[in-house]
Amino acid sequence: MGIEIILYKLGALTKRESVVRYFKNTSWLFLDKILKIISGLFIGVWLARYLGPEQFGTYNYVQSFFGLVAAFASLGLDRIIVKALVDKEFERSTVLGTAFLLRFAAASVVFFLLLISPYFTNNTSTENHFIIVLAACSLFGTIYVVDFHFQSLVLSRFSVIASIIVLSISSVLKITMIITGQPLSYFVYLLLYDAIAMAILLTVFYIQHSGSLFKWNFNYELMLSMLKQGWPLLLTNALVLFQMKIDQVMLRNMLNVEAVGQYAAAVKISEASYFLPMIIVSSLWPAIITSKQLGEKIYLARIQKLYDLMSVMALSIALVLSVSAEFLVVFLFGDSYKEAIIILQIHVWAAVFTYLGIVSGAYLVNEKMTRKNFYRALLGLLTNITLNYILIPMYGGQGAAIATFGSFMVTYYLYDALDRDMRRHFFMKSKSFFPVHFLRKEWGKADK
């Protein structure tokens, strides 16, 4: 009976043109994500085997170092730009022009900071050279505001097609360079090619679909409004990115690049599934938001079920990867990466809190409590840095993995116990660790 009802509702939904458009748009985005994960996993693994732990460590370190500064280039404007385009308070050309100039200015500052970074770090000359190459990527990335134009029109296929073309050519070039035995520098310059090629294709698609970029213009009032709305998101996003990247930067500065390579290999496997909770939450969250109209009890019951689902998935994946870590690391990366085995067995359990954190993050946005996202991200980053500082000298990459696990537990779980508004979610998440009720299929009971 339940299946018939679901099929009936799905059939009714597919008759709505707007729903079909959103479904197609989401399908394009899903395809893009899947292709990038497949390419990143298989070609990334091949590249790791080819370069070896030391050079692979350098390759990942310069990207992590660049990422710490580049986090500010977006100014936290992504969602704000899309919202401004949808609201139509300003002309589309004005929104795009203002956003482009803002992001270009931010990218220029990032480029300058990375340009002078050699005077404040102990990086090698080769590492500094690679970081400057990556800094140029942020300048070309400013044209990516075109992607927000397509998002606002539910036409993400143009951006995805551009991404697939760049990914395909880049993958072929990367394979060719591995086969022909090219040096590490070629692979770093390939990242710059990706940024330039993506910028060119997005520009071409925009001109074909919407006209010239020279029609864009700047509005001072809109700029101030964007900056005012964007800075809290900028700080939160930057803190989250710092928490994700700081371990590799600290490993390089406290140990060596080979330790970064071992750690990066483990992380590549551990974080391969992180796209799953984002897709699931994005798909189910609209229905959960709607259920709030039926009462707070049903609303919270639905969120509990989502926590349960996240826990079941994350715990299952963590258990499988932990048990099969030795086989996976040796099979994928080779004997030279054996140090990554224990790192993977520790790091993979951080996924449990990451999955839960994506759900509570969506809740905070829905309840207009986004500042709490900033507070918990700040607490998590401080925890991560402190634990890394203590544990890396003692346990190396394994210490960094423990620090990641501990900081994610603080960010996405223990913080809730300290916050009066989120304490209920601390108990809900705790309950999800023993999801016997999840197996009883109570989705329907919550509606009664």
Residue 359 CA, chain-centre distance (Å), reads: 15
- Give the per-residue pLDDT at 9: 43
Residue 255 CA, chain-centre distance (Å), reads: 26
Please return the burial class of 201, using the count of CB atoms within 10 Å of its CB with bins 0-12, 13-18 and 19+.
buried
- Give the per-residue pLDDT at 151: 79
Q: Where are the domains of the chain?
A: 20-234, 255-448
Helix (H) or strand (E) holding 292: none
- Give the per-residue pLDDT at 12: 47
- Give the per-residue pLDDT at 185: 93
Query: Could you give the CA distance from residue 173 to residue 150 in angstroms, rounded to a whole number?
Result: 28
Instruction: Annotate 77-125 with three-state secondary structure.
Output: CHHHHHHHHHHCCCCHHHHHHHHHHHHHHHHHHHHHHHHHHHHCCCCCH
- Give the per-residue pLDDT at 438: 52
Q: Residue 59 in contact with residue 184, Cβ under 8 Å? A: yes
Give the Å distances, CA to CA, from 42 to 38, 165, 269.
6, 18, 11
Reduced to 3 states (helix: H, G, I; strand: E, B; else coil), residue 368 is coil
Q: Within a 10 A sphere around the Cβ of 334, how many other Cβ atoms?
A: 15
Which of 379, 187, 346 lies closest to 262 in space, CA to CA?
346
- Give the per-residue pLDDT at 110: 86
- Output DSSP code: residue 413: I
Reduced to 3 states (helix: H, G, I; strand: E, B; else coil), residue 373 is helix
Look-up: residue for tokens 């551009």?
162
Helix axes 397-409, 350-366, angle to 10 degrees: 30
Cα atoms in the Cβ-side hemisphere of radius 13 Å centred on 33: 15
- Output DSSP code: residue 180: T
- Give the per-residue pLDDT at 103: 87
pLDDT tens sequence for the chain (448 residues): 444 444 444 454 444 555 566 667 677 777 888 888 888 878 988 999 999 999 999 998 998 888 888 777 777 777 777 777 777 777 888 888 888 898 898 889 888 888 888 888 888 889 889 999 998 888 888 888 888 888 777 777 888 899 999 999 999 999 999 999 999 999 999 999 999 999 999 999 989 888 788 888 888 888 888 887 777 777 877 888 888 888 988 999 898 899 999 999 999 888 888 878 887 787 677 777 777 777 888 888 888 888 998 999 999 999 999 999 999 999 989 889 999 999 999 999 999 999 999 898 888 877 778 788 888 989 999 999 999 999 999 999 999 999 999 999 999 999 999 999 899 999 999 998 886 655 555 444 444 4
